[in-house]
DNA sequence: AAGAGAAGCAACCGCCAGAAG
DNA sequence: TCTTCTGGCGGTTGCTTCTCT
């Protein structure tokens, strides 16, 4: 059944790549391509490396047109906006930033941007109770939304289609408007604060398009209320969920 | 000048969805 | 149809470099 094991883990080298290994991998891929099989690649080249390690090395370091460091102000803004809208989906962010790798963006966010934007008081995983259902990423995004709301509006993800991920499907204007109204007016028919509140069917009728089950919003709304987030942010979160980004 | 702590970053780990046998 | 592997991803680790005292 199945396939042969990918590599002999006792016989593969780990740790930093040497210039010789880099050169061998680069030369082989430039000449022959990956052949669609990373696992077989190190055997063909004669490298004592796991295929996954070769893939990572190529994608993050050896691939042509890779940029390292020196993130621009514009890139900072894009990363920040995307983090607010899609969270820690580094590969999607990398797709929006030519020459940047997901690993680079992730490192840049974790070591610099996060501290710069949120300060040193950001939540760590160890600070939270295990039962809390909001991820650290979600809370950081809420904090950024608050900051964004109190500062300029140019970072707003939904105001700038350039920042939308390639798979982004714009929400209909009618749906967005209706959701804005609903979240602002708090219709008595809809209890946004309870998982047992409005069904997606009820909202669907009001909005005129298909919506997912809203029960998952309970934590977000509770958090929003506790942190005085705006209704604009409120509806944005619904929109993001609707298009599958959260 | 030396040691400690912080920051930066490359690479590994482990999980998941889809593919292959 | 089931089992196992591959590719891809985000999270985490640990080594190196930098900064502060």
Same fold, A11-62 and A69-129+141-160: yes
Residue A222 near residue A193, CB atoms below 8 Å: yes
Q: Name the residue among A77, A82, A58, A59 with its Cα closest to residue A166.
A: A82
pLDDT in tens, A129-141: 333 445 566 777 7
Q: What is the pLDDT of residue A23?
A: 93
**Interacting residues of A37 by C-beta distance below 8 A, sequence separation 6+:** A51
> Per-residue DSSP letters for A73-98?
HHHHHHHHHHHHHH-S-HHHHHHHST
Q: What is the pLDDT of residue A98?
A: 87
pLDDT in tens, A159-199: 443 344 333 333 333 333 333 333 332 322 232 322 223 33
- Spell out the domain ranges in chain A: 11-62, 69-129+141-160, 169-246
Q: Residue with CA nearest B7 C1'? A: A111
Q: What is the pLDDT of residue A195?
A: 28
Q: What is the pLDDT of residue A181?
A: 32
Q: Residue with CA nearest B10 C1'? A: A16
C1’ B6 / CA A119, Å = 15
Residue A113 near residue A76, CB atoms below 8 Å: yes
Q: Which residues of chain A fall below pLDDT 70? A: 1-10, 118-137, 146-246
Q: What is the pLDDT of residue A210?
A: 35
Residues 63-122 of A with CB under 7 A from strand B: 68-69, 103-104, 106-108, 110-112, 115
Q: What is the pLDDT of residue A147?
A: 67
The closest nt to A2, taking CA to C1', is C4
What percent of chain A has a predicted confidence (pLDDT) above 70? 46
Q: What distance lies between CA A146 and its chain's CA centroid?
A: 18
Q: Residue with CA nearest C5 C1'? A: A3
pLDDT in tens, A87-96: 888 999 998 8
Collapsed DSSP state (helix, strand, coil) of residue A169: coil
C1’ C17 / CA A24, Å = 28
C1’ B1 / CA A67, Å = 37
Q: CB closer than 7 A to strand C: which residues?
A: A 1-6, 36-39, 51-52, 55-56, 88-92, 102-103, 106-107, 110, 125, 135, 137
Q: What is the pLDDT of residue A28?
A: 92
Q: Please provide the CATH number assigned to the domain covering A11-62.
A: 1.10.10.60
Instruction: Spell out the CATH class of A69-129+141-160.
Output: mainly alpha
Q: What is the pLDDT of residue A199?
A: 37
- Protein-contacted bases of chain C (C-beta within 7 A): 2-12
Q: Residue with CA nearest C14 C1'? A: A15
Q: What is the pLDDT of residue A105?
A: 93
């Amino acid at each position: 059944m199945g396939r042969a094991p990918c590599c002999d883990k006792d016989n593969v080298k780990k740790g930093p790549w040497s210039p010789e290994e880099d050169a061998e991998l680069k030369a082989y891929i430039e000449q022959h391509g990956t052949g669609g099989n990373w696992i077989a690649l190190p055997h063909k080249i004669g490298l004592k490396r796991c295929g996954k390690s070769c893939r990572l090395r190529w994608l993050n370091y050896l691939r042509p047109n890779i940029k390292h460091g020196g993130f621009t102000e514009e890139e900072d803004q894009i990363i920040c906006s995307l983090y607010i809208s899609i969270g820690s989906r580094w590969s999607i962010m990398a797709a929006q930033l030519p020459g940047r790798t997901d690993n680079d963006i992730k490192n840049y966010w974790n070591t610099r941007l996060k501290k710069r934007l949120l300060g040193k008081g950001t939540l760590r995983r160890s600070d939270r109770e295990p039962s809390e259902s909001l991820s650290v990423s979600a809370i950081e995004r809420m904090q950024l939304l608050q900051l964004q709301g109190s500062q300029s509006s140019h970072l707003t993800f939904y105001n700038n289609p350039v920042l939308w991920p390639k798979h982004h499907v714009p929400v209909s204007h009618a749906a967005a408007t209706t959701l804005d109204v609903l979240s602002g007016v708090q219709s008595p028919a809809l209890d946004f604060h309870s998982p047992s509140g409005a069904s997606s069917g009820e909202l669907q009728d009001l909005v005129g398009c298909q919506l997912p089950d809203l029960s998952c919003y309970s934590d977000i709304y509770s958090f929003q209320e506790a942190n005085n987030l705006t209704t604009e942010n409120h509806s944005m979160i619904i929109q993001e969920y609707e298009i599958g980004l959260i």
